Chain A
């Protein structure tokens, strides 16, 4: 399986705190993306980092990528209750067409 692993599986924090989730993957990639899914709904794209990039920011999101360790992390700063959702990393193959999702982190932000 080309599925990545994420940790932690579940994370519960207070509003205003930062949340960090990690993704490890197995194969070489073109890019890595993070998606968010509210319960039982479709996924929403958050941020993309290419294999030649090490860090990227978008609003309250910061993502890092270490291709030598085949790992990535997503940091959400100043969390809000509305950030409660499942977060998935997705690795994209060099052909660009296949997306493989990690096991996911369930984030709960307590108001």
Chain B
């Protein structure tokens, strides 16, 4: 299984809503990533988890709250978002450890629209 799944595929939310994005992989990868991608722009790194611990936060506003409950799951909790947060949110995973490949495996993304 070389798949990273993300749910939901699409999400529309108001600025006062609380919602969560979910990412799952069963490849035994111990690094997981959240990226934000605006139209016609490259993915921007948001968070990195290594061995289920947050290792990198690229100065992301606190209205985005990541969570890694176990080695297969990664969540992104959303609260009080702004319309400019509308984007494609991509999850990726990577194997860690000796002999690991450096490549990332990406999910298909969640298209988020904030009204």
Q: Which of B31, B43, B92, B111 has the most CB of A within 10 A?
A: B43
A101 touches B106 (CB 8 A): no
A43 touches B103 (CB 8 A): no
A104 touches B42 (CB 8 A): yes
| Tally of chain A residues near chain B (CB < 8 A) | 24
Find chain A residues with CB under 8 A from B31 CB. Answer: 97
Find chain B residues with CB under 8 A from A98 CB. Answer: 45, 48, 56
Find chain A residues with CB under 8 A from B108 CB. Answer: 41-42
Chain B interface residue bracket vs A: 20 to 34
Least CB separation from B103: chain A residue: A45
Is residue B88 within 8 Å, beta carbon to beta carbon, of the partner chain? yes
Top 10 closest pairs, chain A to chain B, by CB: A42-B106, A101-B42, A45-B103, A43-B106, A42-B108, A101-B43, A104-B42, A42-B107, A97-B48, A88-B42
